[in-house]
């Protein structure tokens, strides 16, 4: 069983809010911008997904210089995430079949993804391998098949021996379906890609579920 991370085992919005809070706390302590954190979170909750730092700084009358935006982004990516596994993910990991190996394949900036893995304590919960695609650079992010080839080689298995559970049909299932893996899409309430669609029907998951309780 191979899982995506964001919006599959936990809600990605929780990470975003955690990161924006950390960046806001930094700006409050260093720049005296008391409202930056709350305003960024409000923008995100209202649907903003781009230029949150730039636009919120501008709204506060603070020049959004490239250096300042870069510093806020660094704080966001390097903070200690305040996130937790979804309740159904906890239940699945606790009842898992001991004869089935578990792994992770996740996109995103390497340091940030590793911090998420530590925050969720996944290795102590039975995950054998976690492949952060950014270890090979941006070109290895999904839909690249590199991480999936890596896991086939690592476990000495292929094709239908694997199942990939993820949330974003625009990229997540392209490579595993080409390799003959079984695929399952989880659509969580509050997921950032709940409305996403695959570019082709051939890239849709084999099954769609709303909870890992129904995975088996």
pLDDT of residue 194: 78
Distance (Å, whole) CA 172 – CA 60:
38
Which pTM does this prediction carry? 0.92
pLDDT of residue 121: 95
pLDDT of residue 98: 82
Give the contacts of 174 (CB within 8 A, at least 6 positions apart): 142, 143, 203
- Upstream peptide bond of 143 is cis (omega within 30 degrees of 0): yes
Instruction: For residue range 61-79, list pLDDT tens digits in order.
Output: 999 999 999 999 999 999 9
C-alpha distances out from residue 156 to 149, 152, 159, 176, Å: 10, 6, 11, 16
Q: What average pLDDT score do residues 17-24 get?
A: 97
In what order do the strands lie in the sheet containing 2-3?
127-132, 102-106, 2-3, 163-166, 182-186, 207-209
Give the contacts of 61 (CB within 8 A, at least 6 positions apart): none
Is the confidence at residue 135, as pLDDT, over 90?
Answer: yes
pLDDT of residue 193: 84
Name the least confident of 8-22, 109-123, 128-142, 181-195. 181-195
Instruction: For residue range 160-209, list pLDDT tens digits in order.
Output: 999 999 999 999 999 999 999 999 999 998 888 878 888 888 889 999 99
């Amino acid at each position: 069983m191979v899982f995506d991370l964001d919006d599959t085992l936990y809600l990605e919005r929780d990470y975003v809010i955690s990161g924006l809070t950390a960046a806001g706390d930094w700006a409050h302590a260093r720049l005296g911008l008391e409202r930056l954190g709350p305003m960024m979170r409000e923008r995100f909750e209202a649907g903003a997904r781009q230029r949150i730092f730039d636009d919120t700084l501008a709204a506060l009358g603070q020049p959004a210089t490239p250096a300042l935006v870069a510093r806020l982004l660094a704080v966001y990516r390097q903070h200690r995430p305040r996130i937790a596994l979804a309740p159904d993910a906890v239940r699945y990991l606790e009842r898992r079949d001991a004869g089935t190996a578990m792994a992770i394949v996740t996109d995103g900036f390497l340091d940030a993804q590793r911090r998420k893995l530590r925050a969720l304590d996944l290795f102590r919960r039975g995950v054998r391998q976690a492949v952060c695609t950014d270890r090979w650079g941006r070109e290895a992010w999904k839909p690249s098949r590199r991480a999936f080839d890596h896991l086939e080689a690592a476990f000495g298995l292929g094709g239908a021996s694997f199942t990939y559970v993820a949330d974003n049909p625009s990229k997540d299932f392209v490579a595993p379906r080409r390799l003959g893996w079984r695929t399952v899409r989880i659509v969580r309430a509050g997921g950032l890609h709940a409305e996403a669609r695959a570019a082709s029907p051939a890239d849709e998951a084999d099954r769609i579920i709303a909870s890992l309780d129904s995975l088996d």
